Amino acid sequence: MKMSKIATFFYLFLLASIANAQSGVFDITKYGGHADADITQALTSAWKEACALTTPSKVVVPAGTYKLNVISFQGPCKGKIDFQLDGTVQAPADPAQVKTDGSWITFEHVDHLTILGKGVFDGQGATAWNQNNCGKNPDCEKTAMNLGFNFLTNSIIRDVTSKDSKNFHVNVLGGNNVTFDHFTVSAPETSLNTDGIHIGRSIGINVINTNIATGDDCISLGDGNKNITVTGVTCGPGHGISVGSLGRYNNEEPVEGIIVKNCTIKNTSNGVRIKTWPHYPVTGSATDMHFEDIIMDNVGNPVLIDQEYCPWNQCNRALSSKIKISKVSFKNIRGTSSTKQAVKLACSKGIPCEGVELADIDLTFSGGPATSACTNVKPIITGKQNPPACTAAPAPTS
């Protein structure tokens, strides 16, 4: 009798597997995954079967709250694949239990991936933030990022949310033609080192119609990026939208073709900025970068080129940055600054900026007239300039 029941169970399981394969839908509940339990193994099994399918497939995490440990979704897959997250997956709250120096969840070497749904990747990062001393200690122990997208091509991430990551929310490396659409990043201003979307060495990445609230850069663009477009993004709280930092590590690759347009930045410590380190003997370049049609609402340093970027005094500002910045425009940038110096272009004295344009800047400061400052650059100035362009000595970098 017992053998008969076992045989029946395996028969039904086989039928379910065949049905999944035929429909192309791989629901984790069919692999033993259920709410309030660890679904790492169920997700691994569902992904493996879906990835092997030559026709379009979909991995589904239905509504509910699930536990999830470190997991890596590896390609290449044989067909187009969707990852539909309708529930909330939670990382272990204790950083010591997330045993990786990379990402809690990684998607790697996948073509035509779509991540969609109304679900949440919850990194449960509060304990990690309280233990974080990376700002003062370069040799600190790194904690896990929420999502790593490595070498994805022709892919889209839409509607889902990254919440309370222990480290960066998203790290994009080696991507080509990847779009974030209506993506959400949610973390408090006090969450240290939690860049919203960091992009490195990628081509054709688009961030559109996205809301980012976090404790560090909303979007940070590292070396080797080409043709990056950021439009319709709401940023804040956080540290703004940044190119860089650049110039700290050997063998950095050039940055070329950045467009940041139609964005709103609110209650952040910076607005739009380019930042490079002095002191280090690293050479490089960043060119063809354009920031246009941007609303600033109570933003510190709304317009900033900072080639003296040196947080926590980890370098010598007396030495020059060796990153060449050229072909940069700041156009139609308006709103309110929380600092008196609303525009600061502090370029390298060793390699001055070239081809920088300021056009139609209108930024006010509640404490009195706003100011601007320029060093080692002669910008092209057109249209309205409030504050008047390049009229004050630059304030010391804090």
Q: Are 43 and 68 in contact (CB under 8 A)?
A: yes
Look up residue 342 and give its amino acid. A
The predicted pLDDT at position 145 comes to 98
* Euclidean distance between CA atoms 5 and 101, whole angstroms: 45
The predicted pLDDT at position 140 comes to 72
The predicted pLDDT at position 9 comes to 40
Q: Which of 198, 239, 279, 290 is catalytic?
A: 239
* Euclidean distance between CA atoms 339 and 114, whole angstroms: 41
Look up residue 128 and give its amino acid. A
- Domain encompassing residue 175: 55-127+142-386
Dihedrals phi, psi of 250, to nearest 5 degrees: -65, 155
Is 214 part of any domain? yes
Residue 120's DSSP bridge partners are 88, 161
The predicted pLDDT at position 2 comes to 47
The predicted pLDDT at position 114 comes to 98
The predicted pLDDT at position 138 comes to 66
Q: What is the largest CA-CA distance in the chain?
A: 91
Q: Which two tokens stand for residue 281?
A: 């003997």
The predicted pLDDT at position 225 comes to 98
Is 3 part of any domain? no
CATH number, residue 361: 2.160.20.10
- What is the secondary structure of 62-78 as a DSSP string? -SSEEE---EEEE---S
Is 289 part of any domain? yes
The predicted pLDDT at position 141 comes to 78
* Euclidean distance between CA atoms 285 and 53, whole angstroms: 43
Contacts of 94 (CB under 8 A, 6+ apart): 127
Is 36 part of any domain? no
Name the strand (E) or helix (H) holding 15: helix 2-23
Is 34 part of any domain? no
* Euclidean distance between CA atoms 341 and 84, whole angstroms: 46
Q: Which of 295, 317, 297 is nearest to 306 (CA)?
A: 317
The predicted pLDDT at position 313 comes to 78
The predicted pLDDT at position 23 comes to 74
Is 8 part of any domain? no
Residue 163's DSSP bridge partners are 122, 186
Indicate if 239 belongs to the active site: yes
The predicted pLDDT at position 318 comes to 82
Q: Which regions of the chain are under pLDDT 70?
A: 1-22, 135-139, 393-398
Compute CA distances 281 → 153, 222, 252, 315, 336, whole Å: 33, 17, 11, 12, 37
- Domain count for the chain: 1
Is 44 part of any domain? no
Model's pTM, two decimal places?
0.93
Is 37 part of any domain? no
